[in-house]
Structure 1
């Protein structure tokens, strides 16, 4: 993003070094500039309203921007020190990634989709406008009339600028110049705080229209869950654990993936064909087992028809242990207690997961005499998980709920409004294939379910971009606010001669620009290569 502005025809554009302008007559009229890589739109209608507003509340704004001056000076010292420490002292890549995310507004290694680019474009335009609005109000409060306000597009990056008579600013005290130069950084910092507060209060603000953190709502779903879920469905539980928000969904899938990795680290797991999680069993009627076929095991893979999964019959087991399925032949084998069953026939059966109806030699069996306890065989990267969902906005569900007032019909409502299915595969990929929101509309407004998610994304993106503007403009780099802040600060807080001040300023800005370029190259190198 281009936040630097140059001088032209004696009219100054922030940020600008506090040096005398060239002796050229100032041209008050300007036309919109258009080229193959740059175009802008100059706005004159806001000059008088902003000037009157700034002069009317001048005393309040001077106090406001005096606080911003302290923040700007602290940011100049703090950000520069952190950049030097991160570049020459610290070798922690996590800190480098964090600093890079803050500077760029996003992680340089992340892939940006077309919709993300739209959020970034609008957030940049809003954040830069807030930045320049701070400069404009600070100038007006000091009695300096604006020439114009311009919104520009350089290559693909939006920006804004304010033009004014720089001679008037030079005639004022240096502390006044500091208030003007620090105003943009200060407004971006306050804007970050506002975005953060709105994000924190968003559930309260939207509570009259949305239910928050009850069950995450599906906004979009890609393979492999598109066969079962559709936009508007709500995820109720994952492997029996209740899911209330998006973080629960991600944490639970990470926990399940960690569990299968721990099982796969066992020696017997690799020597055999799979692992049986004894905490995940189903009481299958023996009549159903008579029609089932035995599993063919070859090259560490179960050979079952489509939509069928390998199960192992375990009569009684200790739920604290995991059973490994090992083929002693080491190549091709057939085990009598391993069967291929349809997952749709199994998922709604009663579970034998250690609740224990009968105790036999310290083990628990929940199944009756005419049932057998079977557990699915799991392989590395093939996790068996149950996902329970509901469809609260479907026509059938709404009609059934309106006609069912008896509390005894809750089970029927659950069956009508949703269901349970089994996913076998990589749970991490599965979790990221679903786009969820924590907000459910209180009424069945179809498009309403997208509003909270888009609002949240906009606030998060604007927060990061505005914070990036604070950090970038706090650096002593050419053409940024930090250059002007540093020059005026050296003049105001030191007693050096004019020649020495210029030399110190030049050394600091050249060094700051060089260090910043090195830091950015390091961040890009670490994230890209």
Structure 2
């Protein structure tokens, strides 16, 4: 339903262009037009040109056919012109008008963020998302879609993360984790983030353990931002590679598809406050498709703050609906 405006506008554009063909052909054949205009039938928009039959019948069959077929011919021209724009013409026009492409540099430009999304306060329009977890978006939207939509597109983060484990508080006399301290790891479809009351902690498992290994000694409840939030966290493949004491090599434990944890690396627009670090890392918890649905992205980024970031996206979407209408 969010595209209904594009669809109806495409109908109107195609209808006006079609009827304009009849009108121009009539004018060229010196046939007067009785009336013309636009109409809306319920929500359906359209256009019309009324050519008197008595004038049309005075023409030769070929000249009559020229007027009758002019609307279809105009639609063919509009279709071909739209194909050219979608094939690279629109991109070239925008690049000469103040937008820059991210092709070759990687990443996707944020066009719009749904206001209800938890990412809305953190991702300004025109910022560039260049990495999701350890996947660099080298192929732009292709990698973006593959990571967020393809169940096989996301792999376990590799290597793991060095995190401080307070074994004294979490272990019993036998060195095993106490069940009461692992409420965040009680994850199922009903509780995709675990049953812990503290929303700032998440479940992590030892990097060397398998996803099927759910024994308490391999799981830990740790502060999410502290482990995953730094731009350059200490990475590891085993505990010995961690530099600090009481540190363990861990990775997020996310058995539920609704409770995934993903690091989003983004670069803020050039016109934002330069006193702050332009590169940010956000940690998103939830279903990956929610990111895809709430954050609209493109491959063109405006060079200046006053250019509307959504113009390339909206223009391409309108052109695609015009193509769809002709098909």
TM norm structure 2: 0.79
Q: Is the 8 A contact 1:281 1:375 kept in 2?
A: yes
Gaps of 5+ in 2: 172-180
Whole-Å separation in 2 of the counterparts to 1:391 and 1:289: 39
- In the TM superposition, what is the alpha-carbon distance from 1:236 to its structure 2 partner? 1.5
TM alignment of 1:424-463, pairs within 5 A: 424-445=285-306, 447-463=307-323
Over residues 101-134 of structure 1, what are the superposed CA-to-partner deviations in whole Å (9 max), with x where a residue is unaligned?
A: xxxxxxxxxxx23xx3333333222211110111
SS of 2:120's equivalent? coil
Distance 1:365 1:463, change over 3 A: farther
TM alignment of 1:236-251, pairs within 5 A: 236-243=130-137, 245-251=140-146
Aligned to 1:519: none
Paired residue total: 299
Aligned to 1:374: 250
Aligned to 1:282: 161
Distance 1:137 1:395, change over 3 A: closer
- In the TM superposition, what is the alpha-carbon distance from 1:389 to its structure 2 partner? 0.9
Distance 1:152 1:240, change over 3 A: same
Over residues 188-246 of structure 1, what are the superposed CA-to-partner deviations in whole Å (9 max), with x where a residue is unaligned?
A: 12101111212221221111311113532222234243354333432121112222533
Distance 1:395 1:140, change over 3 A: closer
**Structure of larger gyration radius:** 1
Q: Is the 8 A contact 1:312 1:337 kept in 2?
A: yes
Whole-Å separation in 1 of the counterparts to 2:157 and 2:28: 73
Gaps of 5+ in 1: 1-111, 264-276, 328-334, 355-362, 401-414, 469-529
Whole-Å separation in 1 of the counterparts to 2:168 and 2:73: 75
Aligned to 2:178: none
Q: Is the 8 A contact 1:135 1:162 kept in 2?
A: yes
Q: What is the aligned counterpart of 1:395 among 272, 290, 307?
A: 272
Aligned to 2:223: 342
- In the TM superposition, what is the alpha-carbon distance from 1:365 to its structure 2 partner? 6.3
- In the TM superposition, what is the alpha-carbon distance from 1:454 to its structure 2 partner? 2.5
SS of 1:172's equivalent? coil
The answer to which structure has the higher helix fraction is: 1
Distance 1:290 1:350, change over 3 A: farther
Distance 1:254 1:118, change over 3 A: closer
Over residues 54-74 of structure 1, what are the superposed CA-to-partner deviations in whole Å (9 max), with x where a residue is unaligned?
A: xxxxxxxxxxxxxxxxxxxxx
Q: Is the 8 A contact 1:215 1:234 kept in 2?
A: yes
Q: Is the 8 A contact 2:21 2:74 kept in 1?
A: yes
Q: Is the 8 A contact 2:147 2:153 kept in 1?
A: no
- In the TM superposition, what is the alpha-carbon distance from 1:146 to its structure 2 partner? 2.2
SS of 2:235's equivalent? coil
Distance 1:376 1:173, change over 3 A: same
- In the TM superposition, what is the alpha-carbon distance from 1:394 to its structure 2 partner? 5.1
TM alignment of 1:26-425, pairs within 5 A: 112-113=1-2, 116-200=3-87, 201-208=89-96, 209-213=98-102, 214-218=106-110, 219-221=112-114, 222-226=116-120, 228-243=122-137, 245-255=140-150, 257-258=151-152, 277=156, 279=158, 281-285=160-164, 294-296=181-183, 298=186, 300=188, 302-304=194-196, 305-314=198-207, 317=208, 322-327=210-215, 335-347=216-228, 348=230, 349-352=233-236, 366-368=241-243, 370=245, 371-381=247-257, 382-393=259-270, 395-397=272-274, 400=275, 416-425=277-286
Distance 1:159 1:369, change over 3 A: closer
Q: Is the 8 A contact 1:120 1:461 kept in 2?
A: yes
Instruction: State the Cα RMSD in Å.
Output: 3.0
Whole-Å separation in 1 of the counterparts to 2:157 and 2:312: 41
Aligned to 2:176: none
- In the TM superposition, what is the alpha-carbon distance from 1:149 to its structure 2 partner? 2.3
